[in-house]
Chain A
Amino acid sequence: METQKNYFCSDMGVMLGRSMRHIFRSMDTILTVTVTPIVMMLLFVYVFGGAIQTGTDNYVNYLLPGSLLIAIASGISYTAYRLFLDMQRGIFERFHSMPIARSAALWGHVLTSLVSNAMSVTVIIIVALLMGFRSQAGVLEWLAVAGILALVTLALTWVAAIAGLSAKSIDGATGFSYPIIFLPFISSAFVPTESMPKVVRAFAENQPATSIVESIRALLYGQPVGNDLWIALAWCVGIMIVAYLIAMQVYKQRA
């Protein structure tokens, strides 16, 4: 611990620089991440849209928040993937045998995850705009939406970190994300929960995706936010803290 503290910020800067190069040299991963949610939006709007009653006249508006969640959920599987490769290839060992803060290497991945997910979210919003998405939200509301999405990303990134750090194979590192990608489907992301059978509905209304989707919707379309926002925040912060603690424990043991 001798003189390491003073350099933490500059070390993090170096790690961020490394991350940005990784992101910009693999733009295809951003596209891969956005393809599924975009195809989903197209399918739902132009194929099933007529048959689904959501009570809104603009179905793209209704779908956007859920689509963003799906993008983030698939985005973080790349975080796990990159982390897994770094563990395999020995670059972490090099960092750890150097006089730098041990956690700098891990935080570099967290920053990468935030930046790359912000990029895929932006791509999807642009596509949605082209499909007719409109919002009356002002700067404050948009900032709040960005804040929620950042928090969701952070929470899921730490879940991804557990997978990436403890996996024994690439499939193991990325497989964890499938159930997370699936969560928005059993939520109010695509259809109102009132239309679901009782048991499914009970699940849908009490899982994090629904409250997150509802809060973003409320912020974007000028409805009262209500309790959903607090429930969403509680979920995100709760998941983040638990996942962070577990990930750090695994990191200590394995890396």
Chain B
Amino acid sequence: MNSNQNKAIQVNGLQKAYKKLQVLKGVDFEVEKGSIFALLGSNGAGKTTIIKILTTLLKKDVGTASVNGFDVATRPGLVRQSISLTGQFAAVDEVLTGRENLIMIAKLRHLENPRQVADELLNRFSLADAADRRVVTYSGGMSRRLDIAMSLVGKPQLIFLDEPTTGLDPEGRIEVWKTVKALAANGTTVFLTTQYLEEAEQLADQIAILHEGKIIANGTLADLKKLFPPAKVEYIEKQPTLEEIFLAIIGKKEEK
């Protein structure tokens, strides 16, 4: 069954169409256990479709896909026990408080001490102060952090993050990046999708580019850079970007 113990994900010849619209036209890739894998693609490329197939939410048409050694089509129950999904749109319950959200998930994962698990994650994600406020009052970054925290309940081996930073301000984006790096440092495999090359650059050990239904490039950042023509060297004064300026100002405030 486990054709390769070191692979968290193996995808072969994956195809998927929504009625007439052929979104995936034969996708192949593998993800190493314990690595951060970024699937890069523009809006509508089919990133969410791949995530939905890998998390058993959607059936594939053709091809094979296995997660932690379990075939997604034939062993969905086992796949679901070893993964966790943070979807493209925050999957938090806005009526509940942050703490209640975490406790709910801990109970659904049948853990021994739901309250303790919740407390730990609230601290780790700097949400302890807001723990007993309803999520509807949270900022975008806080919701996203809670969303990711909910995915970590029960310490899944593999976590899927679908565009975790889309819609966040630069500050929120950095927070999420830190979280993702910390996760991988703990040995969790992270599969994330993004529309931003920069984000893939920042985070990923391996980057795959999805374009028109196929993976057109796949490898480390260094591998990918070789594919592009070497940059021409020109001497220009580099102005700080708006984002850098913004972050510098915020950073000073936060240092207290």
Interface residues of A (CB under 8 A from B): 1-4, 7, 10-11, 14, 17-18, 21-22, 25-26, 88-91, 93-100
Contact = CB atoms under 8 A, between A and B. Distances in A.
Contact of B87 (A7, A25, A93, A100): A93
Contacts of B108: 11, 14, 95, 98, 100
Contacts of A26: 95
A97 B83 contact: yes
A96 B96 CA distance: 19
Interface stretch (B7-15, B23-31, B74-82, B226-234): B74-82
B55 A97 contact: yes
A22 B151 CA distance: 22
A94 B100 contact: no
B100 A99 contact: no
A12 to B, nearest CB: 11
Contacts of B110: 7, 10
A11 B80 CA distance: 15
B84 interface: yes
A-side interface mostly: helix
11 contacts: A2-B77, A89-B91, A89-B92, A91-B91, A91-B92, A93-B87, A94-B91, A94-B150, A96-B56, A98-B80, A99-B81
Interface of B: 55-57, 75, 77-78, 80-81, 83-85, 87-96, 100, 104-105, 107-110, 134, 150-151
Nearest to A4: B77
A10 B96 CA distance: 19
Nearest to B114: A14
B110 to A, nearest CB: 6
A90 B88 CA distance: 8
A126 to B, nearest CB: 26
Contacts of B56: 96-97
B138 to A, nearest CB: 14
A3 B110 CA distance: 12
